[in-house]
Structure 1
Amino acid sequence: MEFIYDRRLGISLPYLDQPWETLSVKNQTEILTQWELIRGTIPEKIADIEMSIEDKQMELNQEEEFERSCALNDEVAEYASVINDLWIWYRTSPSVSKQFSSSSF
């Protein structure tokens, strides 16, 4: 098990090389501890991105060139997509499982 940095989201994401339920309780606990530290940074990242969206929207309100307006809209859409993905990861709350139980990650 390792965490791999996702440049688009700006956080490290879990990568399991074996099923969650086959990991020892100790390993699951260590992974969950690390995940909770990462997960705790997500709301602040979302707030920062929301500020960037507001900046882009203010810029868009002043923009008169159509092509630039389209580019700004694309940037806002990408920011919104990142926020959506971050919320999905934030809501992921795995738990320690016993052998042969359902996968958490």
Structure 2
Amino acid sequence: MFQHDNRLGISIPVLPREWTDYPLEEQEQIMHIWETIRGMIPDRIQELEKSINEKQTALNNEENFIVSCRLNTEISELASVINDLWLWFRTVPDVNSSDSPQKRHS
């Protein structure tokens, strides 16, 4: 039901069926697992923000254009990951709802 996403650093739901096709008990089990994973997202974001800050400090002191471009690219990618993590953090499915955990954002 969940697959680790290396880019995001968390497991995300991968549901082969529609949310409503899962029995209520299974929906509740999926929700419990998701809430545990979801609770780790702010810590993951904090780790990435720390890395961005370190790269920005390095960028401020970098004189080599090629290295500056690489650092900018790395910072952009980390910012993109943070954005995606916030989207996943706001994903909260309703038990016994037609909304899939992969579709609904609060």
Question: Could you tell me how far apart the structure 2 residues matched to 1:102 and 1:37 are?
Answer: 22
Is 1:51 the counterpart of 2:55? The answer is no
**Pairing 1:39–2:38 present:** yes
Superposition pairs of residues 1-105 of structure 1, within 5 angstroms: 2-97=1-96, 101-105=97-101
Instruction: Provide the alpha-carbon RMSD of the alignment.
Output: 0.8
Task: Measure, in 2, the Cα distance between the counterparts of 1:95 and 1:103.
Answer: 7
After the TM superposition, list the runs of 4 or more consecutive aligned residues in structure 1 that deviate by more than 6 angstroms: none
Q: How many residues align structurally?
A: 101
Mapped to 2, the partners of 1:103 and 1:95 lie a distance apart of 7
TM-score calculated relative to the size of structure 2: 0.93
Quote the offset at 1:104 in angstroms.
2.5
The two structures have a TM-score, normalised by structure 1, of 0.94
The percent identity for this pair of structures is: 51
Amino acid at match of 1:41: M
Deviations 1:22-56 (A, max 9, x none): 10000000000000000000000001100000000
Unaligned runs of 5+ in 1: none
The 3-state SS of whatever aligns with 2:7 is: coil
What is the distance in 1 between the residues matched to 2:99 and 2:85? 20
The alpha carbon displacement at 1:17 in A equals 1.0
- Match for 2:42: what amino acid? P
The C-alpha deviation readout for 1:4-24, integer Å capped at 9, x for no partner, is 000000000001111100100
CA distance in 1, matches of 2:94, 2:37: 15
